Structure formats: C-alpha cells, structure tokens
C-alpha cells in the first residue's frame, strides 16, 4: 500500500519561517506550486508565517490539532554558525515536528534545510539540487493519501467485523444437551 500523488480534495497548511527568507521563500513557492500542480485548490492551502525555525513545531502542532488539514508542510532554513546554537535548534525543530506528527496523527512534511553553508542552502532551494520545498509538498500529498487509505481500510475491516458480530460460527455456542434433546423429538 502507498499513497498517491493527487492533492485534489485535500487541505494543507504550510508553516514557513521568516528567518533566512531569501531561502525559505524559494522553498515555499516551490511547495505551493507543487500542491497546486497536484490538484490542490488555492482555497485549501493555508500559509502561516513564524519568526524562525524554532517556532515551526508549535505552529504545526496547533494547526494539526484543529484536524482541519490533511497534512502540514514545515519549511525553514538553518545555517551552521560558529556556536552550538545551530545543533540545539536543529535537534529541537526535528524532534518537535516529528513529535507533533506522531501525537496528532496528521502527516507533517519536513522541509527544513539544515545546511553547513549558504551555498548548500541555495543549491537545495532550486539552483543545483532541485527544490526541497517541492519534495516536502510531494511527501505531504503522499502521506495524506496513505493515511486516508489506511484509515479507510481500517474502518472497512472494523465495519465487516461488526456486521458479523451477531452471528457466531463457533461450536461452543451450541449446548450439546440441547442439540441432543431436539434430535430426540424429531
């Protein structure tokens, strides 16, 4: 089983960090375009801007908890500096986005670049290595469809189980004494 790449009929929220906007705007535009080209309607895409990558998990979780969205796209850009600050933020953003997805059950696509240099970020925002914003959009679409397929399959299995709940085919439901007595009366 796998999710399809049609965004038709699905609702998405995109959380974009303003910090390093010259990169995050490229990522956002590519993600937005990818959703539209895959069949999403403009009215079904909500954009939420946050100050930096650290704020992405809280915004994503708040949106996911509303249960209004089939998937959340998280977009940001972290560049290594000269202090340990980068490592702390990378770990917290990654953990927070993953935890939000697991605890809410709403797929979250991780489109947060974690780069050593500005050149690497530019390359991943559309110059040499494709655009990770588009990759995040495609991942969000696929996971939204996969989640829908799993939930639909699960409810149909439960539905079939309930339909048969009133009928038991196990021999333990027939008392041997009663079966023998009815055979004698015939």
Residue 125, helix vs strand vs coil = strand
Residue 16, helix vs strand vs coil = strand
Q: Are 75 and 27 in contact (CB under 8 A)?
A: yes
Which residue in 37, 67, 68, 85 is the catalytic one?
A: 85
Q: Are 144 and 70 in contact (CB under 8 A)?
A: yes
With a CB cutoff of 8 Å and minimum separation 6, the contacts of 114 are 78, 90
DSSP percent split of the chain into helix, strand, coil, nearest 5: 55, 15, 25
Please compute, for residue 136, the number of CA atoms within 13 A of its CA located in the half-sphere on the CB side. Answer: 31
Q: Is 108 tagged catalytic?
A: no
CA-to-CA separations, 134 to 61, 68, 158, in angstroms, rounded: 21, 22, 36
- Considering only CA atoms, which of 63, 67, 59, 10 is closest in space to residue 36? 10
Active site residues: 85
């Amino acid at each position: 089983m796998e999710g399809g790449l049609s965004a038709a009929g699905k609702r998405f929220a995109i959380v974009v960090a303003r910090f390093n906007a010259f990169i995050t705007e490229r990522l956002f535009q590519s993600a937005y375009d990818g959703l539209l080209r895959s069949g999403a309607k403009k009215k079904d895409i909500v954009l939420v801007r946050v100050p930096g990558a650290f704020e992405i998990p809280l915004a994503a979780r708040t949106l996911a908890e509303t249960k209004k969205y089939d998937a959340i796209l998280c977009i940001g850009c972290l560049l290594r500096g000269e202090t340990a600050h980068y490592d702390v933020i990378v770990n917290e953003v990654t953990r927070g986005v993953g935890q939000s997805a697991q605890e809410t059950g709403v797929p979250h696509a991780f489109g947060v670049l974690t780069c050593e240099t500005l050149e690497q970020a530019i390359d991943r925002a559309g110059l040499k290595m494709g655009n990770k914003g588009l990759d995040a959009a495609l991942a969000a679409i696929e996971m939204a469809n996969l989640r829908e397929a799993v939930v639909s399959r699960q409810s149909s299995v439960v539905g079939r189980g309930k339909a048969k709940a009133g009928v038991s085919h196990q021999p333990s439901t027939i008392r041997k004494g009663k079966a023998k007595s009815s055979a004698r009366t015939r």
